[in-house]
Amino acid sequence: MSTLVLAIFIPFLAAAIIPFLYKYLKNIHVGWFAILVPTGLFIYLASLIPAISNGEVIVQTINWIPSYGINITAYLDGLSLTLALLISGVGALVILYSIYYLSSKEPIGTFYTYLMLFMGAMLGVVMSDNMLVLYVFWELTSISSFLLIAFWYQRKRSREGAKKSLIITVSGGISMLVGFIMVGSMSSTWSIREVIANVGSISDHSLFIPAMLLVLLGAFTKSAQFPFHIWLPDAMEAPTPVSAYLHSATMVKAGIYLVARFTPVFGGEAVWFWAVTGVGIFTLFWGSFNAVRQTDLKALLAYSTISQLGMIMSMFGMGSAALYLGYSTESVVYTGATFAALFHLVNHSTFKGALFMVVGVVDHSVGTRDIRRLGGLITLMPVTFTIATVGSMSMAGLPPFNGFLSKEMFFVSTLEITEAGFFGLGTWGIAIPIIAWVASIFTFVYSTVFVVKTFLGPYKEEKLEHPAHEPNPGMLISPIILGMLVITFFFMPNVVGENLIAPAMNGIFPTFASEGAELGTHIHAWHGFKPELFMTIGVILFGVFLYLTRKYWSGIYNLFPEKWSINTFYGFVLDQIEDKSTVITNKYMTRYLRDYMVYIFAFFILAIGGIFIFTEAYYFTLPENAPISNFEGLVILAMMVAGITILFAKSRLTAIVLNSILGFGISILFVLFRAPDLALTQTIIEAVTTVLFLVAYYFLPELDREDTTKKTKSVNLFISIGVGVVFTTVALGVQGNKAFDTISTFFENSYELAGGKNMVNAILGDFRAFDTMLEVVVLLIAGIGVYTIIRVRAKKESDQIEDK
């Protein structure tokens, strides 16, 4: 019944099993087991396509914390299914690829465990209807990404890349959580579906805009939007299958998914439109502009991913304009941008996945990814070259590849949005198509660089680690499949469009769908001689021109020196936080017991004493006192004198004798207080303690005069008296106010219940026997502790972790 919820948890289950498989099945690459999970999930999810494309949605709930309305609700509509298919489909291909990429000598058991952890978390993100559950899965993807980036944790750069990605994405995640809580408190539900259904009631709330911005912050950090994009290039330290999977095809799309999911909530607001579109379009430009200057193939692809994510993001922003107008025949036109965004989301996963795998193949074959050392691989690696060309041309937006279709649709949307007469688009709208077009030229340039620099030109074997050769055919299967999809989607785009994207559109524009709008666009490769075609032709012409004249204008990058980059700023902030917090911490963490004791006692005085004074809660009535005989008075007086004299004891022997007087005095008091057991125990223990002190004194130095200053002494005295006064007042107050009846009458039946006439013994040996047993264990541990502290000598520390 709840197979969908189960689907989310199967990868987690696999993550738990894989370490054991890895340990006990040495002969088989553990990836062959791991691959079963995404393959199975893909088949299962694919079997749901007909139902979803008929407009159904699947909802299954398992209660988790029902009293707070937090339940694991798996919710599958077109949008979730699209993402889920990408996660499982690309996941299967990546695992297949990784089987050949990672040798069994690497700790692949942990690798596949983390990968499964990620897969489950990511499925959870796209299928959760509950915002808080979504948040939990969201952070789990950040954590598994952290673990995977640091897979080669011996390398310093891996560790730093992992740390950077974690800090940025988790900070965003936490702000998103705050946004979710705001949305939840506005609409008093955690269910996204219910929020969407009642969106009208919250859009005037004063927290509406803050909540929107906080949620967007989460989405932008996760999807590497400017200025948070800096973690993605550093994340490329991960093994290439991870880069292909997490950092291009799936995890970085989580932010985009979030924007899509919340479009029906926040869309139609000018702030949302400009934040999403503006950040997206600028990221598109900035990413593609910086990709051109990269010399590492993976860094190039990282910036390219940033750029493409910005493009998808901006399209979701433009699509949201339709919600401002409400449903009408004119406004439907703007939803085309959202359609294009979803289509490009799928396309990007196919061609970028293939390109990352190509880089992995090249790196694996020749041992470098530096384009200054590569070249001329076309004749030696023809299959790899073909895939790279297909992927790059799709990325550049050329026919006959799927990127062409979505790029054209993107151009159409940018042009249409300039004609909208709201949100100040009349003045600023024209910037959108211009930036988009310029960015596309740079996209063309870096796509060309990617292919030409790697595969054409002279072959420089002396600069390579190994001579070039085609890899194991198994490593080519996945990129070939993705490359074929790139072409297939070009010729049959409507298979995807009608079955997945159209239902997804209904989820993003529910108000439109309920009016019966046709939200699915029929995708054509040929639109006739329209502006978008001329834009593409312009991109090619200017792209070729810029590529050829690269030498002459590359000086432009010197306008953005390293000193002023966001990366430097990030490092600066981090260093400052570390330095300042060290300074502050060192101020109060003095490594001196007395200071810590002062903090504790001062807090005690202020908190307990302060509460009594400020709340005026304190009152006490002195209880009816038992009479005091002369003898008792004398004992107590002696103890007070002994206690105070300890403070002035010059020799340690005096101190211990006075301490013994206290101990034996208490024994006498126990006798007087009708507690013979206590008196006996106290006498014995006091005797042993005194002996112990004397033995210890044999080894310890004589008490010196305390060379503390007068000031410190008076502070100490002040605190001590403060503690004593607060303690005494509380103890007196407690005596006068008995809130509950004593439970001790129960123990008076000790003979019937436990067969013992001595109630204290019965309590210790029977009613609370476990307590006594554990007490004996404590004594045992203390005994072992005493023995080891005396006997065991410390060994010199060795084996520090390598830090290069």
Partner 1 sequence: METLVTILAGVLVTVATYLLLSKSLIRVIIGTAILTHAAHLVIMAVAGLKTGTVPIVGEGDPVDPLPQALILTSIVIGFAVTAISLVLAYRTYQELGTDKLDKLRGNPDE
Nearest residue (CB) to partner 1, 559 versus 792: 792
Write down the residue that tokens 């902030």 correspond to.
Answer: 573
* Strand partners for 59: 75
Judged by CB under 8 A, does residue 528 bind partner 1?
A: no
Nearest residue (CB) to partner 1, 433 versus 663: 663
Nearest residue (CB) to partner 1, 65 versus 717: 717
Q: Which parts of 601-630 interact with partner 1 (CB under 8 A)?
A: 601, 622-623, 625-628
Residues 217, 172: contact at Cβ < 8 Å? yes
Residues 703, 649: contact at Cβ < 8 Å? yes
From 647, 650, 651, 769, residue interacting with partner 1 (rule: CB under 8 A): 647
Judged by CB under 8 A, does residue 569 bind partner 1?
A: no
Cβ within 8 Å of residue 202, ≥6 positions away: 183, 186, 187, 195, 208
From 537, 607, 773, 786, residue interacting with partner 1 (rule: CB under 8 A): 786
Nearest-10 crossing angle of helices 108-127, 3-24: 170
Q: Which parts of 140-159 interact with partner 1 (CB under 8 A)?
A: none
Q: Kindly indicate which of the ranges 72-80, 125-133, 374-382, 745-753 contains the residues binding partner 1, using the contact rule CB under 8 A.
A: 745-753
Measured between alpha carbons, how far is 192 from 267 in angstroms, rounded to an integer? Answer: 14
As measured in angstroms, the least distance from the Cβ of 639 to partner 1 is: 6
As measured in angstroms, the least distance from the Cβ of 750 to partner 1 is: 6
Torsions phi, psi of 233, nearest 5?
Answer: -60, -35
As measured in angstroms, the least distance from the Cβ of 678 to partner 1 is: 6
Judged by CB under 8 A, does residue 763 bind partner 1?
A: yes
Measured between alpha carbons, how far is 220 from 557 in angstroms, rounded to an integer? Answer: 25
Write down the residue that tokens 């989460």 correspond to.
Answer: 218
Nearest residue (CB) to partner 1, 743 versus 801: 743
Q: Which parts of 585-604 interact with partner 1 (CB under 8 A)?
A: 590-594, 597-598, 601
Residues 315, 344: contact at Cβ < 8 Å? yes
As measured in angstroms, the least distance from the Cβ of 764 to partner 1 is: 6
As measured in angstroms, the least distance from the Cβ of 711 to partner 1 is: 13
Instruction: Say which DSSP state 766 is in.
Output: I
Q: Which parts of 16-55 interact with partner 1 (CB under 8 A)?
A: none
As measured in angstroms, the least distance from the Cβ of 619 to partner 1 is: 16
Residue 98, both tokens: 């990784």
As measured in angstroms, the least distance from the Cβ of 681 to partner 1 is: 5
Measured between alpha carbons, how far is 110 from 95 in angstroms, rounded to an integer? Answer: 14
Torsions phi, psi of 63, nearest 5?
Answer: -70, 135
Q: Which parts of 472-491 interact with partner 1 (CB under 8 A)?
A: none
Nearest residue (CB) to partner 1, 61 versus 689: 689
* Strand partners for 75: 59
3-state secondary structure 560-618: CCHHHCHHHHHHHHHHHHHHHHHHHHHHHCCCCHHHHHHHHHHHHHHHHHHHHHHHCCC
As measured in angstroms, the least distance from the Cβ of 648 to partner 1 is: 11
From 643, 653, 654, 657, residue interacting with partner 1 (rule: CB under 8 A): 643
The alpha carbons of the chain give a radius of gyration, in whole angstroms, of 36
Q: Which parts of 664-693 interact with partner 1 (CB under 8 A)?
A: 666, 669-670, 672-678, 681-682, 685, 688-689, 692-693
Per rule CB under 8 A, count of chain residues that contact partner 1: 94
Judged by CB under 8 A, does residue 656 bind partner 1?
A: yes
Instruction: Say which DSSP state 778 is in.
Output: H
Chain-centroid distance, C-alpha 302: 20
User: CA geometry: angle at 242 spanning 352 and 572, to 5°?
Assistant: 95
Q: What SS3 class is residue 670?
A: helix
Q: Kindly indicate which of the ranges 3-11, 306-314, 482-490, 660-668 contains the residues binding partner 1, using the contact rule CB under 8 A.
A: 660-668
Judged by CB under 8 A, does residue 646 bind partner 1?
A: yes
Q: Which parts of 711-740 interact with partner 1 (CB under 8 A)?
A: 716-717, 719-721, 723-725, 727-728, 731-732, 734-735
As measured in angstroms, the least distance from the Cβ of 705 to partner 1 is: 10
Q: Are strands 70-76 and 58-65 parallel, antiparallel or unpaired?
A: antiparallel
Distances (CA, A) of 264 to 218, 294, 323, 339: 17, 38, 8, 14
Residue 193, both tokens: 């579906």
Q: Diameter of the chain by CA atoms?
A: 116
Write down the residue that tokens 């007086």 correspond to.
Answer: 637
Nearest residue (CB) to partner 1, 468 versus 726: 726
Nearest residue (CB) to partner 1, 537 versus 644: 644
Judged by CB under 8 A, does residue 764 bind partner 1?
A: yes
Residue 400, both tokens: 């006959």
Nearest residue (CB) to partner 1, 503 versus 663: 663
As measured in angstroms, the least distance from the Cβ of 680 to partner 1 is: 10
Site string for partner 1, 448-477 (x = CB under 8 A): ------------------------------
As measured in angstroms, the least distance from the Cβ of 588 to partner 1 is: 14
